[in-house]
Amino acid sequence: MLRFTAPHNLNPMTQRVLPGAYLIGPDSVPIAGEVVLEDDTIRCEKGTRDAAAVALQIDLDGHRLQTLGHDEPVIDDIRLRPLGVLTLQTCLLPDRERPYVLALELARHRIMLILTKLEEWQIFELPGDSIEMRLLDAARAVFTKALVRSNDPNETAETSRLGMIALWIAIEASERLALRQAKLDLESRQDGSLYSSIAEDGAQSKRPVPVLHPGRGGVVLPSRPAIGVSASPSVLGEQTKSALRDSVDFVTVPMRWIEMEPIEGEYAYSPTDRWIEWAIRTAKLPVVAGPVIDFRPHCVPEWLYIWENDYETLRDLVYEHMKAVVTRYRRTVSRWTVCSGLHCGDHFKLDFQQMIDLTRICVLVVRKLHPRAKVQVEIVQPWGGYHTSDRRSLPPLLYAEMLTQSGIPLDAFSLRVQMGSYRSGQDTRDLMAFSSMLDQYAMLDRPISISGLGCPSGPLTPDEHPEQHAQPGSWRGLWNEQSQADWLSAYASLAMSKPYIETVCWHELADPAGSTEMRTGGLLDRRMDPRPALQRMRDIRNAILENKLPASLDPRQLDRADTSASVGSTN
């Protein structure tokens, strides 16, 4: 059994399952089990004696920082600063009688992750006097002090305190390192030096095609990344049209089944027709459609639930629906997101064979009816925490690998990455965790799209039973309009720097009036007034078009994010 001494910032309780916490086995695959907080001990109940890691939320906010009593600068004038509420993980650990110190193991994993990325990114030649390396050295020094004290059972409290300080410094170092590498990657991507250095002469003389990176893995794309936004037909109006002009390279039109076919056999094409017609004829924007098949509750018509336990009928309905939608819009759509989240099994329970079969049907319908279009499959909850409690589901990376091995003709995989919500899989991760996750999916050797990048512009809470949900988490302060803009700048720019990322799409143009995953996640509010995040998107797009680096890739922007978050948190 794995046991951990809880840090000071987890509230002791008699006993409860920690919402959002889960166990991870080898190859980063979530495993079955529960993470229980009992008094001051975290107990991990798992069905195997193999080594495992635990992922859980940790408060790294201003109040917790005060309890550490660390006021002096780490280096120069850089002090510990609020980092938010983040989901972090430990290394794989064997069972032992004596509890591990959680803060120490979280710090160990983060330092290990930094060293791993230094090797993967081939940047061990970073000068020792760089801010990132000096922060890493500081984190390792404090970690060593904690490790020495951990041998004394009477020093557990001090070990935890020092471990938390080491963790804090390591996260600061890792986020700065992730932005530094993103800056280097985007420079070599924009000037074409990365692609030309690894592409064969024949590949450059003909039509450029993606090539495999011999050192880091994944593909290198010859084109610049594109940025877009998902815009529901229900928000079509002059204000939304104005917001899209000069802000994006493409527009995604979500084709939710509940909106396309609210009554069985009766299609409501008109709102989608108007939106696509404006995008193509007036705005001259390419259109990405989908996901077409998505079984989330706000996407499924009521009449379809009758067949959720009858796979043969469901399969036929999916085929007919795909056929109808693709036939209608094949002359206007350039890329199809054919299905989303089939690997989760959150709503319509599918077994392994049914997941693969339904995905194959969706892809082949588009291949037959619209052979020139690009086809992608959307993966949700890319860290895969859902799999620990639902063993009928498939881990996201395994699902993607199975599609590849099955010979399904996909052009790309797309990822939905939403943070700051209480919903499953939408907890907040830091920049290095985000960058590392993207690199894992790059190993599929396919182009990757971010089809749903998003965070809220204000705090979110569940409608009922808040104690049963994980915290939404936060990044460098409370969620507000300014922190949303800072988050978009940093995470979108980092994603676009990756040589295998084809497109990045913000998940909502405007706050929707109906059911949605994130009530305040739009670039426009309910009154259709623009939020600061919209201007940040314009700035990023303009920088890419002008072959310049977005300002958000400067690690010093993290200091700005801290300032804006602290200002917002006092209001």
Q: Rounded to an integer, what distance in angstroms lies between the CA atom of residue 4 and that of residue 11?
A: 14
Structural domain includes residue 468: no
Partner residues linked to 289 by β-bridges: 253, 336
Q: What is residue 433's predicted lDDT score, i.e. its pLDDT?
A: 98
For residues 436 and 492, membership in a common domain is answered with yes
Residues in the chain, how many?
A: 571
| pLDDT tier at 571, thresholds 50, 70, 90 | very low
Q: What is residue 554's predicted lDDT score, i.e. its pLDDT?
A: 82
Q: What is residue 21's predicted lDDT score, i.e. its pLDDT?
A: 93
Structural domain includes residue 105: yes
Q: What is residue 567's predicted lDDT score, i.e. its pLDDT?
A: 43
Q: Rounded to an integer, what distance in angstroms lies between the CA atom of residue 29 and that of residue 496?
A: 26
Alpha helix (H) residue ranges in 207-288? 238-244, 257-260, 270-277
- The tokens for 491 are 């995470």
Q: Are the C-beta atoms of 440 and 28 separated by less than 8 Å?
A: yes
For residues 237 and 137, membership in a common domain is answered with no
Q: What is residue 223's predicted lDDT score, i.e. its pLDDT?
A: 92
For residues 131 and 228, membership in a common domain is answered with no
Q: Are the C-beta atoms of 230 and 507 separated by less than 8 Å?
A: yes
For residues 242 and 146, membership in a common domain is answered with no
Q: What is residue 132's predicted lDDT score, i.e. its pLDDT?
A: 94
pTM of the model: 0.95
Q: What percent of the chain has pLDDT over 90?
A: 74
pLDDT, tens only, 117-161: 999 998 877 888 899 999 999 999 999 999 999 989 889 999 999
Q: What is residue 346's predicted lDDT score, i.e. its pLDDT?
A: 72
Q: What is the mean pLDDT of the chain?
A: 91
The dihedral region occupied by 122, where left means phi > 0, alpha psi between -120 and 50, and beta the remainder, is: left
Is the pLDDT at 566 greater than 80, yes or no? no
- Residue ranges with strand state E in 267-400: 287-289, 293-294, 335-340, 374-380
- The tokens for 263 are 């009554």
Q: What is residue 338's predicted lDDT score, i.e. its pLDDT?
A: 98
Is the pLDDT at 306 greater than 80, yes or no? yes
Instruction: Pick the closest to residue 2 from 76, 55, 68, 64 (CA basis).
Output: 55
Q: Are the C-beta atoms of 135 and 75 separated by less than 8 Å?
A: yes
Q: What is residue 514's predicted lDDT score, i.e. its pLDDT?
A: 61
| 234-243, 267-276, 342-351: least confident range | 342-351
Structural domain includes residue 481: yes
- Contacts of residue 154, Cβ cutoff 8 Å, sequence gap at least 6: none
Instruction: Look at the chain and report how many structural domains it folds into.
Output: 2
Pairwise pLDDT comparison (347 vs 119), residue with the higher score: 119
Residue at a domain's end among 182, 215, 243: 182
Can you state the angle between helices 156-190 and 557-569, rounded to 10 degrees? 120
For residues 288 and 428, membership in a common domain is answered with yes
Q: What is the mean pLDDT of residues 95-124?
A: 94
Is the pLDDT at 518 greater than 90, yes or no? no
For residues 157 and 12, membership in a common domain is answered with yes
Tracing tokens 């060593």 back to the chain, one arrives at 144
Q: What is the mean pLDDT of residues 44-70?
A: 90
| pLDDT tier at 389, thresholds 50, 70, 90 | confident
Q: What is residue 153's predicted lDDT score, i.e. its pLDDT?
A: 87
For residues 172 and 235, membership in a common domain is answered with no
| pLDDT tier at 569, thresholds 50, 70, 90 | very low
Residue at a domain's end among 151, 182, 213: 182
For residues 115 and 252, membership in a common domain is answered with no
Is the pLDDT at 301 greater than 90, yes or no? yes
Q: What is the mean pLDDT of residues 493-505?
A: 97
| pLDDT tier at 480, thresholds 50, 70, 90 | very high
| pLDDT tier at 515, thresholds 50, 70, 90 | low
Q: What is residue 66's predicted lDDT score, i.e. its pLDDT?
A: 86
Structural domain includes residue 505: yes
Structural domain includes residue 210: no
Residue-range definition of the domain harbouring residue 359 = 224-459+474-569
For residues 116 and 259, membership in a common domain is answered with no
Q: What is residue 304's predicted lDDT score, i.e. its pLDDT?
A: 95
Q: What is the mean pLDDT of residues 519-546?
A: 95
Q: What is the mean pLDDT of residues 506-526?
A: 85
User: What's the angle, vertex CA 341, arms to CA 340 and CA 344, rounded to 5?
Assistant: 170
Chain CA centroid to CA 512, Å: 21
Q: What is residue 165's predicted lDDT score, i.e. its pLDDT?
A: 96
For residues 141 and 239, membership in a common domain is answered with no
Structural domain includes residue 545: yes
CATH number at residue 301: 3.20.20.80
Is the pLDDT at 413 greater than 90, yes or no? yes
Structural domain includes residue 326: yes
Tracing tokens 């039973």 back to the chain, one arrives at 465
Q: Rounded to an integer, what distance in angstroms lies between the CA atom of residue 371 and that of residue 363?
A: 10
Is the pLDDT at 305 greater than 70, yes or no? yes
Structural domain includes residue 53: yes
- Contacts of residue 297, Cβ cutoff 8 Å, sequence gap at least 6: 347, 515
Phi, then psi, of 422 in degrees rounded to 5? -75, -10
For residues 246 and 136, membership in a common domain is answered with no
SS3 label, residue 378 = strand
Is the pLDDT at 407 greater than 70, yes or no? yes
| 38-42, 199-203, 286-290: least confident range | 199-203
Q: What is the mean pLDDT of residues 279-287?
A: 96
Instruction: Pick the closest to residue 430 from 119, 75, 58 (CA basis).
Output: 58
- Contacts of residue 376, Cβ cutoff 8 Å, sequence gap at least 6: 335, 336, 337, 338, 410, 411, 412, 413, 414, 449, 451
Instruction: Pick the closest to residue 540 from 83, 125, 225 (CA basis).
Output: 225
Three-class SS string for 419-478? CCCCCCCCCCCCHHHHHHHHHHHHCCCCCEEEEEEECCCCCCCCCCCHHHCCCCCEECCC
Q: Rounded to an integer, what distance in angstroms lies between the CA atom of residue 6 and that of residue 234?
A: 47
